Amino acid sequence: MDAHVTPSRVRGRARAPPSKSYTHRALLAAGYGDGTVVSDPLDSADPRATGRAVTAFGGAVEWDDDANVARVEGFDGRPGTPEDVVDCGNSGTTMRLVTAAAGLAEDLVVFTGDSSLRSRPQGPLLDAVESLGGRAESTRRNGRAPLVVGDGMTGGTVAIPGDVSSQFVTALLMAGAVTDEGVAVELETELKSAPYVEITREVLADFDVETERTDAGFRVPGDQSYRADEYAVPGDFSSMSYLLAAGAVAAADGEAVVVEGARPSAQGDSAIVEILERMGADVDWDREAGEITVSRSHLSGVEVDVGDTPDLLPTIAVLGAVADGDTRIVNAEHVRYKETDRVSAMAEELESMGASVTEEPDSLAVHGDRTDLRGATVDGRGDHRLVMALAVAGLVADGETTVRGAEHVEVSFPGFFDTLEDLGASVGVE
């Protein structure tokens, strides 16, 4: 499916979808327990994959669109052995979180996913599960799915790298709470995407599960129970970033874009507000009301460290293409291990739209002074975040921009193009 975007001016109010990160964690936390109503969940492809895994483990997830809830029956801490292979689709978060959960199973669980997911590294998590008394193997012996996991992980202390994926830490903390011994995670390297672990700890606390920071990393005591009658999912700042960027580069004269649902939480991607401010955007966040207002502004390039906010790289790259001067996105090597290599992908697709960029192993520079965006046919590469960022670029490019793979926004922001159109953008999907 293709999206066709032509230069537009946007205005009005919009609401970004609920947080994908919180929805994943809430569904699995509810699965570890004995029953929870998850309100305002993100009902999209990735959380559905986590819901399928909870069901395969012996729980049940009922999505009620009318009531805007997911009713979860849990598997009471210890997952059962699924009747079939568990397909995680394109969801890396699902695979990593449920891999540690499967380490608790008495028998063996087999996980697979689509071609993109089967290319993503899982090795450190597999090694960790084995160190904690479980079994965890890659069928191709390359640290990538398909995976075989189980044999009753008991807990203990494990050392893992922190610079591959914070989801490894999240997975071990969530599973460790119900092990006999608990789990202490010692980080061998600096932790990237650290705010995502704080999201996990926030969700676990809401389910009455204790965790703690240690000098070496994190620890979760064992023999705990997950308990929550209801859990409400906050709005998603990763998804808000595209709407805020659209307002900053394409709002109509004298008007603004107001993004609703922006209540404070542990989400690292709320940094998009501070990044826009540093670039000179006219942006205001009413935290009590949960609303962010942004107007079209004269932007200047800045340096942004995305060590903790990898999902913002595509948005920042587009802002940099519109800004004066250079925008340098640094500490970005781990962003290469997402649904696609987002560093190279954004460099190549923005170049095809006339941007001047410099790609290094751990950084991406966008030279706004040497950039005049023009419409082109660009490839979203099966990555929802690339699709949305490139669509925003199309709002200010000269001529029509065609974004291939538009359907992938269903992963995190169903209705994204409808939302853009409601704000006044000239966009069509076919």
Residues 249-262 as b/e (b if ≥16 CB within 10 A, e otherwise) read bbbbeeebbbbbbb
29 contacts 171 by C-beta, under 8 angstroms: no
The distance of Cα 418 from the centroid of its chain, to the nearest Å, equals: 21
Q: Is 311 annotated as a binding residue?
A: yes
> Which residues are paired to 107 by β-bridges?
none
Amino acid letter, 111: F
The helix or strand, by DSSP H or E, that contains position 15, with its residue range, turns out to be strand 12-15
Q: Is 338 annotated as a binding residue?
A: yes
Q: Is 165 annotated as a binding residue?
A: yes
Which tokens is 186 given?
């010692």
Q: Is 192 annotated as a binding residue?
A: no
98 contacts 172 by C-beta, under 8 angstroms: no
Task: Supply the DSSP string of 105-142, one letter for each residue.
Answer: -SSEEEEE--TTGGGS--HHHHHHHHHTT-EEEETTSS
Which tokens is 7 given?
């230069």
Q: Is 25 annotated as a binding residue?
A: yes
DSSP 316: H
Residue among 206, 269, 311, 379 flagged as catalytic: 311
User: Tokens 């401010």 — which residue?
Assistant: 277
- Known catalytic residue: 379? no
Q: Is 404 annotated as a binding residue?
A: no
Q: Is 193 annotated as a binding residue?
A: yes
> Which residues are paired to 220 by β-bridges?
183
Q: Is 166 annotated as a binding residue?
A: yes
Q: Is 39 annotated as a binding residue?
A: no
Binding-site positions: 20-21, 25, 92, 120, 165-167, 193, 311, 338, 342, 385
Binding-site positions for phosphoenolpyruvate: 20, 92, 120, 167, 342, 385
Catalytic residues: 311
Binding-site positions for 3-phosphoshikimate: 20-21, 25, 165-167, 193, 311, 338
